[in-house]
């Protein structure tokens, strides 16, 4: 199957993008594996006309918004991010009415419709930098209360208003689960994604995006780590550091939607060129503004 995919990819001049949470065999055949920010940036810069995006729907949608001339395919149309929808209708208008200098900062893990109503997008790797750079004092951070809360702590000069959304996978990690791993592995450093709850962040040695966690583990002199994020990152961690050890909380956090990106579905979508990501031009133009602003401010 891997050989067939490689051959078809070459014939069609296609590129396969995969998030670090995609299954390991899919990461293995991908041309580019990354965190949300890097994948969006590389997709925009690449000259491939056909992209197969192995992630969840907001990721494929973001690529289509940034690069309308490309044909973007997703292996499974039902792979979605639960958090991407977690903003109550009407709440953005209410906040804008309440604060006249409000900036609506939208985590990229959100629907195109939410991006349309926002001033700037962020990812977990650039949220602090971008919020710091904004001239506005009042920030409405959507949809993730945990990433928003983490940003608020790093940028105390701003009034960050949180929205009650979260990633169900990261929010399910408990302090007890982490403390159990710390007891079992007292010399391990704790590397955590900012979508985890504050009690997990407080027990961590490093907080960052999936790419940040991977790079921290590679550059650290330590050889044991407890990883507080989805277990898909293990593939890259082991590839980079075959002699280091990585532990996850029990049960291992798993985003089922990311696992819909199987080799079978990648091959099928490459053969049929179905599952095309479509975004209406009206929505695309509105959602493009905050995404472009993110790329500009993150430079
Ligand atoms: P990253 O941008 O850190 O890869 O995170 C994406 C994501 O979905 C985290 O749950
Ligand atoms: Fe969304 Fe959470 Fe899955 Fe990331 S891990 S894609 S935030 S549901």
Residue 250: CB partners within 8 Å, gap ≥ 6? Answer: 177, 180, 181
**Which residues, in sequence order, are bridge partners of residue 122?**
107
- Report which of 126, 95, 122 is spatially closest to residue 109, judged by C-alpha positions: 122
Q: How far does residue 90's CA lie from ligand 1's centre (Å)?
A: 26
Residue 210 CA to ligand 2 centre (angstroms): 12
Q: Is 56 in the pocket of ligand 2 (CB under 6 A)?
A: yes
- Convert the pLDDT of each residue in 3-46 to its tens digit: 999 999 999 999 999 999 999 999 999 999 999 989 988 998 99
The CA distances from residue 281 to 66, 77, 232, 247, 278, in Å, are: 12, 20, 34, 45, 9
Ligand 1 nearest atom to the CA of residue 170, by list position: 10
Measure 100 CA to ligand 1 centroid, in angstroms.
Answer: 31
pLDDT digits over 224-253, tens only?
Answer: 999 999 999 999 999 999 999 999 999 999
Ligand with the closest atom to the CA of 39: 1
Q: Say what the alpha-carbon torsion angle 156, 113, 30, 191 is, to the nearest 10 degrees.
A: 20
CA–CA–CA angle 222, 25, 85 (5° rounding): 85
Q: List the residue whose alpha carbon is closest to atom 1 of ligand 2.
A: 81
Strand ranges for the chain from DSSP E: 14-19, 32-34, 50-54, 71-73, 103-107, 120-122, 138-142, 159-162, 189-192, 206-207, 224-228, 245-248
Q: What is the pLDDT of residue 299?
A: 86
- pLDDT tens, N- to C-terminus, the chain (299 residues): 999 999 999 999 999 999 999 999 999 999 999 999 899 889 989 989 999 999 999 999 999 999 999 999 999 999 999 999 999 999 999 999 999 999 999 999 999 999 999 999 999 999 999 999 999 999 999 999 999 999 999 999 999 999 999 999 999 999 999 999 999 999 999 999 999 999 999 999 999 999 999 999 999 999 999 999 999 999 999 999 999 999 999 999 999 999 999 999 999 999 999 999 999 999 999 999 999 999 999 98
Ligand 2 within 6 A of CB of 233: no
Domains of the chain (ranges; CATH) run 2-80+258-278 (3.40.50.10800), 83-166 (3.40.50.10800), 173-248 (3.40.50.10800)
């Amino acid at each position: 199957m891997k050989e067939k995919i490689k051959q078809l990819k070459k014939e069609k001049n296609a590129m396969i993008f995969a998030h670090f949470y995609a299954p390991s065999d899919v990461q293995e055949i991908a041309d580019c594996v990354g965190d949300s920010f890097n994948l969006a940036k590389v997709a925009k810069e690449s000259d491939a006309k056909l992209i197969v995006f192995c992630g969840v729907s907001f990721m494929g949608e973001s690529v289509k918004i940034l690069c309308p001339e490309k044909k973007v395919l997703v292996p499974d149309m039902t792979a979605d991010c639960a958090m991407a929808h977690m903003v109550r209708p009407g709440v953005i208008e209410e906040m804008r009415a309440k604060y006249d200098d409000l900036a609506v900062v939208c985590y990229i893990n959100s629907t195109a419709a939410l991006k349309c109503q926002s001033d700037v997008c962020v990812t977990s790797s650039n949220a602090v930098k971008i919020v710091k750079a904004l001239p506005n004092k009042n920030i409405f951070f959507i949809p993730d209360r945990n990433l928003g809360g983490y940003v608020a702590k790093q940028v105390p000069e701003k009034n960050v208003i949180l929205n009650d959304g979260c990633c169900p996978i990261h929010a399910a990690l408990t302090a007890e689960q982490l403390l159990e791993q710390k007891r079992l592995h007292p010399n391990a450093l704790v590397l955590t994604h900012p979508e985890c709850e504050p009690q997990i962040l407080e027990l961590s040695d490093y907080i960052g995006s999936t790419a940040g966690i991977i790079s921290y583990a590679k550059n650290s002199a330590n050889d044991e780590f407890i990883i507080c994020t989805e277990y898909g990152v293990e593939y890259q961690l082991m590839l980079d550091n075959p002699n280091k050890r990585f532990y996850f909380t029990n049960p291992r956090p798993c985003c089922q939607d990311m696992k819909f990106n199987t080799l079978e579905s990648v091959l099928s979508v490459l053969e049929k060129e179905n599952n095309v990501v479509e975004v209406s031009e009206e929505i695309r133009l509105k959602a493009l503004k905050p995404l472009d602003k993110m790329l500009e401010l993150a430079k």
